[in-house]
Amino acid sequence: MTVSLAVALVLLALLVGALLGAAVARARTGRDVRTAEEERAGLQAELAAVQDRLVDLASERAAAVEARAQLEDRLRDADARSVQDNNVLRALAPVAHQLRSVEEHVAALERDRAEQYGGITQALAHTREVGDHLRTATTSLSSALRSGSARGTWGEVQLRRVVEAAGMTAHVDFREQVASTGTTADGERSAIRPDMVVHLPGGRDIVLDAKAPMTAYLRAQDAGDDDARRAQLSAHAKAVRGHVDALASKKYWEARDASPELVLCFLPAESALSAALDTDPTLLDHAAGRNVALVSPVSLLASLKAVAFTWRQHGLAENAKELFDLSRQLYERWARWASTWTTWGGRCRSRSRRTTGWPARWRPGCSPRPGGSTTSTPPSRRTTG
């Protein structure tokens, strides 16, 4: 009984232990399952994140591949353009050289233009100074010019001042009061004496007259009212027109060989010419139709400046021609000298060749013969007796 009870108790204890172990194992298994579930959920979340990351990486890789392809296309295009640009640059190399030459030529022209512009500016400034001086002189002398002789002298003096201001020299570039014989409108020969003759390159001359009428103009300056002034200015324009006709009838150009059919009528005051042209606008055309040019101090100075410049250019051309002639003569003399020395050299070489055989001709035992041959003379034998 006791053994059975003990066995039962043992079995009961074993059963209780098994049940407790099973309960403990079940509880532990539940906790493991929950932990595993939690880990599985976490792993699934990480897997989803990794998958999302893989998707993003795949997209980035596709974008990178596309960008690489685009870069390769751009590189190929750049290489093609580089080759094309190099070909174009090689083709344009002569054009670039020509452009550089053109730029250098343009730069030289620009420097020359700047120098010429500076010279023209100085000339214009000098012209303005001369014009101001002439206008001042005209104003100051207007009261003194009441007689015809005084006005004529004043016109000649003004003309000479303008000519000298243009850089011309008396008796070289111009002459005054040159007497000659001309033809009148009636065909008769008569003595003429222009106030000045300006020499042009090529043996040509141009005549200047300084006896323009100024009486009516000076009266107009002293007129008390506008009507009297207009009347005097009208008389001044008519007087200038009549003087133009008188100059045209003298035909000064026929007395000068190879001279242009033109006479310069000099009015010693700018205002006198402008007043005549304002009163009679057709006066300038009338004078031009009769081979007469109306000039004032400023316009005459500009014309004479052009003549002086032409003389300078003519002098440069003459100097260049003289230099060319001297160079040609020097070349011809050097050519003759070289030809002479060449002839002498040939003769010297010929004589040198002739004299190279003389030592051999005079060796002992040889005597020269005409034509260069030699004969051997045997030595004399002694006779024994």
Which residue range is the domain that position 292 belongs to? 145-321
Per-residue CA distances from 64 to 51, 53, 58, 59, 297 (Å): 19, 16, 10, 8, 87
Q: What is the reported pLDDT for 215?
A: 79
> For residue 133, is it within any domain?
no
Torsion over CA: 230, 236, 237, 239 (sign): positive
Q: What is the reported pLDDT for 374?
A: 46
Under 8 Å between Cβ of 145 and 218: yes
Flag whether pLDDT at 65 surpasses 70.
Answer: yes
Q: What is the reported pLDDT for 102?
A: 79
Q: What is the reported pLDDT for 384?
A: 39
> For residue 247, is it within any domain?
yes
Q: What is the reported pLDDT for 133?
A: 75
> For residue 4, is it within any domain?
no
Under 8 Å between Cβ of 249 and 209: no
Number of structural domains found in the chain: 1
> For residue 368, is it within any domain?
no
> For residue 352, is it within any domain?
no
Mean pLDDT computed over every residue of the chain: 73
Q: What percent of the chain has pLDDT over 70?
A: 66
Q: What is the reported pLDDT for 257?
A: 65
* Distance of alpha carbon 349 from alpha carbon 335, whole angstroms: 21
> For residue 378, is it within any domain?
no
Work out the number of other CB atoms within 10 angstroms of the CB of residue 283: 19
Q: What is the reported pLDDT for 371?
A: 47
Residue 97: band (very low, low, confident or very high) from pLDDT cuts 50, 70, 90: confident
Flag whether pLDDT at 280 surpasses 80.
Answer: yes
Which SS3 state, helix, strand or coil, does residue 157 take? helix
Q: What is the reported pLDDT for 315?
A: 64
| 17 vs 103, higher pLDDT | 103
> For residue 104, is it within any domain?
no
Q: What is the reported pLDDT for 153?
A: 67
Which range of 59-73, 153-167, 337-351, 365-379 scores highest in mean pLDDT? It is 59-73
The CATH number linked to 245 is 3.40.1350
Under 8 Å between Cβ of 261 and 255: no
> For residue 227, is it within any domain?
yes
* Distance of alpha carbon 118 from alpha carbon 129, whole angstroms: 16
* Distance of alpha carbon 292 from alpha carbon 241, whole angstroms: 10
Q: What percent of the chain has pLDDT over 90?
A: 0
In tens, the pLDDT along 134-191 reads: 777 666 655 555 555 555 566 677 777 877 777 776 655 667 766 665 555 555 555 6
Residue 94: band (very low, low, confident or very high) from pLDDT cuts 50, 70, 90: confident
